[in-house]
Structure 1
């Protein structure tokens, strides 16, 4: 396996999908491909992600998959990824099972993730793991079901992904001094995309980014009917650093 990173880069993140709930036409919900010099990690695998992933990598090159939580907009394409893993194992391209890190509930959804092609590992927020040469830690955030924010540290570079959450202090501490912060911003004035329960607006995402002193904020889990420029402006009211609205297949070099 040869990992492709930009020259001199320590860690890259490719935005495969950034819509919340359900995707806008031609888009995808949550999915982020993190590439180090030693492997690749897929953060979430939402609706439409598997239509984007083959342009970037193949299943046998994934070091593992991390699911922030088990809502469908974060796992909808996981079964399709597992089909790809089954085929790769059957044809000798993949020697080991697909490693899948996930919360241990809801149990009925978790039970559907097991298979002869997948090794399911329950996330333990009290323990750090090693994947693709990176150190990964988890903090539970405030959503409608168990959900974990994820911090990935590789050769001194830090990426933090909020998962889905309402405003919470634990996320501030996890994101402290991060190089890049992928933070959910689902609620937007005038949008009817969501009830808002267990989510934040862009102003709150900016507040967390500012208090955590991150270097760059990327708003994700966006509402398909939201005014995205308004959301960028709202985040910039409380965070003085760069605020990005992702574009399809945008690559960030950390």
Structure 2
């Protein structure tokens, strides 16, 4: 009940029409959920608790990787390596901002990550103003992605 309240206020008082299982994920340890495997990777998003995690999700021969909010960390290389879809934060274009990733920092290592498709997300005005001139896709509300 406490975990439910932390994640969704008043949810522990609501009658659920489904079973709810809360599972703690350990960085670097893959967990199977039926045909889906999830591997969390540690990312850098401050010192206020954590763990802060990015996720690599694999099923039916496809891989989706998501950085979450993070500064550059070497963990992003194995997290996104050869992913069919790599969803990456690009908060700024080239400016370093604590706890966040710049596009230039990501681009410096894209050759090592080698995602098949990259979609940028969590962008500041600095990035949004440049989107038309960039060779990458950008996330948007309601975007549907086929992989």
- TM range, smaller chain: 0.7 to 0.9
Separation of aligned partners in 2, 1:203 and 1:78: 33
What's the counterpart of residue 136 of structure 1? 38
Separation of aligned partners in 2, 1:87 and 1:161: 30
1:136-163 Cα deviation digits (max 9, x unpaired): 1011122214311100000110000001
Superposition map of 1:1-254 within 5 A: 78-79=7-8, 83=11, 86-89=13-16, 93-94=17-18, 96-97=19-20, 99=21, 119=22, 121-131=23-33, 133-145=35-47, 146-188=51-93, 196-223=97-124, 225-231=125-131, 233=133, 236=135, 243-254=136-147
Give, in angstroms, the shift of residue 231 of structure 1: 4.9
CA contact 1:188–1:202 (8 Å) conserved in 2: yes
Corresponding residue SS for 2:130: helix
Gaps in structure 2 of 5+ consecutive residues: 1-5
Corresponding residue SS for 1:125: coil
TM-score norm. by structure 2 comes to: 0.78
Give, in angstroms, the shift of residue 229 of structure 1: 4.8
Separation of aligned partners in 2, 1:136 and 1:176: 15
What's the counterpart of residue 3 of structure 2? none
Tell me: higher relative CO, structure 1 or 2? Use CA pairs within 8 A at least 6 residues apart: 1
Gaps in structure 1 of 5+ consecutive residues: 1-76, 100-118, 237-242
Separation of aligned partners in 1, 2:15 and 2:111: 44
